[in-house]
Amino acid sequence: MAGGNEKSAKALKEVWRRAENSLCADCGKPDPDWASSTLGVFICLSCSGIHRNIPSISKVKSLKMDHWDDAQVKFLAHHGNAVTKATYEAHIPIYYYQPTYNDCQ
Beta partners for residue 43, in sequence order: 34
- The answer to whether 73 and 16 have CB atoms below 8 angstroms apart is no
How much is the pLDDT for 6?
85
What's the rounded Cα separation, in Å, for the pair 17 and 89?
A: 23
> What is the tens place of the pLDDT at every residue in 37-79?
999 999 999 999 999 999 999 999 999 999 999 999 999 999 9
> What is the tens place of the pLDDT at every residue in 13-47?
999 999 999 999 999 999 999 999 999 999 999 99
Average pLDDT score, the chain: 92
Q: Is the pLDDT of residue 2 over 60?
A: no
- The answer to whether 42 and 16 have CB atoms below 8 angstroms apart is yes
Is pTM beyond 0.85 here? yes
- The answer to whether 25 and 81 have CB atoms below 8 angstroms apart is yes
Which of the 8 DSSP states describes residue 18?
Answer: S
Q: Which residue has the higher pLDDT, 44 or 98?
A: 44
What's the rounded Cα separation, in Å, for the pair 51 and 56?
A: 10
